[in-house]
A and B are shown apart, each in its own frame.
Chain A
Amino acid sequence: GAGVSQSPSNKVTEKGKDVELRCDPISGHTALYWYRQSLGQGLEFLIYFQGNSAPDKSGLPSDRFSAERTGGSVSTLTIQRTQQEDSAVYLCASSFTSGGKGNEQFFGPGTRLTVL
């Protein structure tokens, strides 16, 4: 079956513009995660969705970042008024019901965001 897909693969934008990054998780996976991979900060957690529960937004770096997950499937990460420090690779991952068996997270190929 298909893995986690993300679009676009690469995005170049100008400082101050808004961007939307999309993630299509593996069908049947109820948990969805966003991570950011940057040179200075390594891999850091941003936000977590589990089923219909309220998302854990504790990793979002500022209120310019938001995410939603529609119908328990596709997720969109939105960055408003982008700044140069937002330049990074944004990775999405999904898994079966979280916890318990230490469910493996399956990652997408990421979106490389460059803010000029």
Chain B
Amino acid sequence: AQTVTQSQPEMSVQEAETVTLSCTYDTSESNYYLFWYKQPPSRQMILVIRQEAYKQQNATENRFSVNFQKAAKSFSLKISDSQLGDTAMYFCAFMKTSGTYKYIFGTGTRLKVLA
């Protein structure tokens, strides 16, 4: 079975600074997808970034980038130039490419951006 671990329950960062959120996972699959979702107080889950396991290049989306280390089973999210609107819960999620395409979520990291 797959598991996803987010070891940082809460983090804070000053506005305009950079912060990195950690995520590790365990799987025997060779191909899969990893995601970071953001959940602001509105409860709306929003996709931040997605990584395909067979792609060695780290995904980037504007101020968001990942450090994907497949051998280490690590998938961290870096937020550059943090903004107040980045304040939210961040969930790391794993999805297989076969069977049921459900997400396996980590427990989340609550990020607070300080003015």
Report which A residues bind B (CB closer than 8 A): 31, 33, 35, 42-45, 48, 50, 56, 58-59, 89, 91, 93, 95, 98-100, 102-105, 107, 109-110, 112
Contacts and interface: CB of A to CB of B under 8 A. Distances in A.
The 5 closest A-B pairs by CB, nearest first: A102-B33, A107-B45, A98-B101, A43-B105, A45-B102
A24 to B, nearest CB: 15
Contacts, number: 54
B37 to A, nearest CB: 8
A48 B44 contact: no
Contacts of B101: 31, 48, 50, 95, 98-99, 103
A50 to B, nearest CB: 8
A100 B43 contact: no
Given A102-B52, A109-B44, A110-B43, A45 B97 contact: no
Q: Helix, strand, loop or mixed for chain A's interface?
A: strand
A99 B108 contact: no
B112 interface: no
Interface in B50-67: 50, 52
Nearest to B104: A45
Contacts of B25: none
Interface residues of B, number: 24
Interface in B33-47: 33, 35, 37, 42-47
Contact of B91 (A43, A58, A98, A112): A43
A109 B44 CA distance: 5
Nearest to B105: A43
Contacts of B105: 35, 42-44
Nearest to B33: A102
B28 interface: no
B38 to A, nearest CB: 11
Contacts of A59: 102
A95 B100 CA distance: 13
Residue among A42, A89, A91 with the most chain B CB within 10 A?
Answer: A42
A45 B95 contact: no
Nearest to A42: B107
